[in-house]
């Protein structure tokens, strides 16, 4: 006895021993004269060779056990819940290579959830078939294909300044520094993110000079906290730093001179205290614990410690939240420079180009000069004040002339030959417009390169040498395309045209970025934090 398929067997069509004639075929248990158009006669029966595993694609072409016939082709049979894609059975609900249908691939890093591709929340965007975060990706910053060269990608948000309900302005872009200021313990940079200008700081934060809370120090530059977002759009705010404070526009954060008195606690959030008025600041500088600025009308005002008369008020030993010009104070100034307890300005009104200085005396450090004193008969276009020396750029010759201490050659002459103090002014060989003074040394820009001279005990010259000092300018190693430079006590920084910042000298409290503690005689790069979202 054997099992017979009575639906298709011509000798047992529809029932055992019910045979069809020689001219008939058996189709679905019925003897017929011919097969339907979609069937083929195979051994006296009608077969659908598209789906019949015994006659798959043609009569007597049987599929192997476990296989099925699909459109005339034998293939293995996929278990329930899976779909055949190529030579494999897949679950199109969860297969990232076949998500929702065969050959529908998800982006790299994505998962397939119920037939739909989903990138992680940390990388929610898709660029070049890869999950990325366009707010932080250096290869796709703000838009696919927008790569940041030598820069981080960050996002800044600027809330509605009118107090209304307008949505915030959001800008994502490559972080590009526009200005740099380095102090004894920390540094700050004005940066541009898309259409938004912002201020980022790094280094010591013991007095909240980074504009952030809950961090003792941070060698990586990050945004200053501000409740209403970054500083401005399309505006160029001023930037200056001191030992324990930072300034931009008329706002300050940190410790000491940023308060109405020196006894108040440090502030981590930028704040404009009482007395700061006179319009937008045009020039600004910060000393040890005092600051001076010239408003839009050119009038100079100072605030902070006045123990050496550095506020220019005619009397030393008192504290003022903000002090304006008294008789004898320069009426207007186009240039200001401050370091330590000394302040100098280039007069811009009744005595145009005259250089006036006040505070601690350059030649007798224990002497206070609360009334601005004309330093020299030279007329100047710029002035730079160091810890114990100063320099001005002559409006006639264009050369820089220095005065004060010269023990490390900072005034441009070898102290072994010309003495350690410049009682008058000494003409240097430097004529490039940009010069900054640090503690016992100077740095200047010339043709995109940076040159420094003076003290080199902490590697301030940046040329890689271990010489104690140099009275002649030395080229800083590896710096090209520089557009800005800043100097302080034992260190200096340069800003390159590509928006990167490089610093050299003695590392302490992270002011040279992530570099190790100690002396760095060649420039090291300042790193910017990724993200930067407000």
More confident residue, 522 or 15: 522
Partners of 113 in beta bridges = 116
Residue 320: pLDDT above 50?
A: no
CA–CA separation, 216 and 179 (whole Å):
24
What per-residue confidence (pLDDT) applies to 257? 42
Secondary structure string (H, E, C) spanning 123-176: CCEEECCEEECCCCCCCCCCCCCCCCCCCCEEEEEECCCCCCCCCCEEEEEECE
Q: Work out the average pLDDT over 297-307.
A: 80
Q: For tokens 């034992």, name the residue.
A: 490
Higher-pLDDT residue of 466 and 241 is 466
Say how far apart CA 59 and CA 61 lie, in whole Å: 6
325 CB-near residues (< 8 Å, 6+ apart): 299, 300, 301, 312, 331
Q: Please give the pLDDT value at position 252.
A: 57
For residue 466, the model assigns a pLDDT of: 95
pLDDT of 322 reads 42
Q: Please state the rounded mean pLDDT for residues 347-355.
A: 84
Whole-angstrom Cα distance, residue 214 to residue 130?
36
Phi, psi at residue 248, to the nearest 5°? Answer: -150, 145
What is d(CA 92, CA 86) in angstroms, rounded to the nearest whole number? 13
Distance CA 103, CA 265 (A): 64
DSSP string, 468-480: SEEEEEEEPTT--
Q: How much is the pLDDT for 110?
A: 96
Q: CA-based angle 417:421:422, to the nearest 5?
A: 95
Q: Where are any strands of DSSP class E within 163-295?
A: 169-174, 176-182, 186-193, 196-204, 217-223, 232-233, 239-241, 245-248, 251-254, 267-271, 283-286, 290-294
Distances in Å between the Cα of 12 and the Cα atoms of 9, 17, 28, 385, 512 are: 5, 5, 11, 115, 96
* Mean pLDDT, range 16-28, rounded to an integer: 82
State mean pLDDT over 24-41.
83
pLDDT per residue over 250-271, tens digit each? 455 555 444 334 445 566 666 5
- Between 94-103, 321-330, 333-342, 360-369, the lowest mean confidence (pLDDT) is in 321-330
Lowest mean pLDDT among 60-69, 146-155, 174-183, 386-395: 60-69
Rounded Cα distance, 166 and 164, in Å: 6
pLDDT digits (tens, 9 = 90+) for 50-99: 888 889 988 889 888 778 788 888 877 777 788 888 777 889 999 999 99
Largest Cα–Cα distance in the chain?
134
Residue 1, pLDDT score: 62
Distance of CA 513 to the CA centre of its chain: 13
Which token pair is 451?
A: 């040159």
Instruction: Mark 28-47 as b/e (b = at least 16 C-beta within 10 Å).
Output: eeebeeebeeebbebebbbb
pTM, entire model: 0.77
Residue 285 has pLDDT above 90, yes or no: no
Give yes or no for a contact between 405 and 427, defined as CB atoms under 8 angstroms apart.
Answer: no
- Residue with the larger pLDDT of the pair 402 and 162: 402
Distance CA 338, CA 376 (A): 18
- How many residues would you count in the chain? 534
pLDDT at residue 393, rounded to an integer: 93
pLDDT digits 0-9 by tens, 211-231 = 888 888 999 998 887 655 544
pLDDT of residue 253: 54
CA angle 133, 138, 144 (to 5 degrees): 60
Instruction: Average the pLDDT over 270-284 and give the result.
Output: 60
The pLDDT, as a whole number, for residue 330 is: 46
């Amino acid at each position: 006895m054997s099992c017979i398929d009575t639906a298709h067997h011509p000798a047992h069509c529809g029932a055992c021993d019910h045979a069809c004639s020689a001219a008939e075929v058996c189709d679905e248990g019925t003897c017929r004269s011919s097969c339907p158009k979609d069937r083929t006669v195979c051994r006296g029966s009608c077969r659908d060779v598209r789906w019949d595993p015994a006659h798959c694609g043609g009569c007597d072409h049987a599929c192997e056990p476990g296989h099925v016939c699909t459109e005339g082709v034998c293939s293995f049979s996929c278990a329930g819940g899976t779909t055949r894609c190529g030579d494999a059975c897949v679950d199109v609900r969860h297969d990232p290579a076949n998500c929702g249908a065969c050959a529908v691939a998800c982006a790299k890093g994505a998962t397939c959830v119920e037939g739909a591709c989903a990138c992680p929340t940390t990388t929610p965007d898709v660029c070049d078939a890869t999950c990325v975060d366009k707010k932080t990706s250096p290869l796709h910053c703000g838009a696919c294909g927008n790569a940041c060269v030598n820069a981080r990608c960050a996002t800044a948000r600027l809330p509605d300044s009118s107090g209304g309900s307008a949505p915030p302005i959001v800008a994502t872009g490559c972080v590009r520094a526009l200005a740099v200021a380095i102090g004894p313990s920390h540094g700050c940079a004005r940066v541009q993110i898309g259409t938004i200008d912002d201020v980022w700081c790094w280094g010591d934060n013991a007095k909240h000079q980074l504009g952030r809370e809950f961090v003792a120090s941070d060698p990586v530059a990050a945004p200053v906290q501000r409740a209403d977002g970054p500083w401005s759009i399309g505006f160029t705010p001023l930037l200056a730093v001191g030992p324990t404070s930072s300034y931009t526009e008329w706002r300050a954060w940190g410790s000491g001179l940023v308060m109405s008195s020196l006894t108040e606690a440090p502030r981590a959030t930028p704040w404009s205290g009482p007395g700061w008025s006179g319009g937008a600041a045009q020039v600004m500088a910060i000393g040890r614990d005092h600051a001076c600025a010239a408003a839009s009308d050119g009038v100079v005002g100072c605030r902070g410690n006045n123990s050496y008369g550095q506020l220019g008020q005619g009397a030393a030993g008192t504290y003022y939240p903000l002090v304006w010009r008294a008789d004898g104070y320069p009426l207007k100034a186009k240039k200001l420079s401050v370091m330590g307890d000394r302040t100098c300005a280039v007069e811009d009104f009744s005595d145009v180009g005259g250089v006036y200085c006040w505070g601690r005396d350059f030649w007798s450090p224990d002497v206070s000069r609360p009334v601005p004193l004309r330093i020299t008969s030279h007329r100047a276009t710029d002035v730079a004040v160091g810890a114990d020396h100063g320099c001005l750029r002559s409006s006639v010759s264009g050369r820089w002339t220095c005065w004060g201490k010269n023990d490390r050659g900072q005034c441009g002459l070898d102290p072994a030959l010309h003495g350690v103090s410049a009682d008058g002014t000494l003409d240097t060989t430097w004529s490039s417009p940009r010069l900054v003074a640090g503690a016992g040394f100077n740095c200047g820009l010339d043709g995109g390169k940076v040159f420094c001279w003076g003290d080199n005990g902490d590697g301030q010259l940046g040329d890689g040498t271990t010489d104690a000092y140099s009275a002649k300018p030395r080229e800083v190693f590896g710096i090209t395309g520089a557009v800005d430079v800043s100097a302080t006590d034992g260190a200096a920084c340069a800003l390159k045209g590509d928006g990167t910042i490089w610093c050299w000298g003695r590392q302490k409290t992270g002011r040279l970025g992530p570099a190790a503690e100690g002396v760095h005689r060649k420039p090291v790069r300042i790193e910017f934090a990724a993200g930067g979202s407000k």
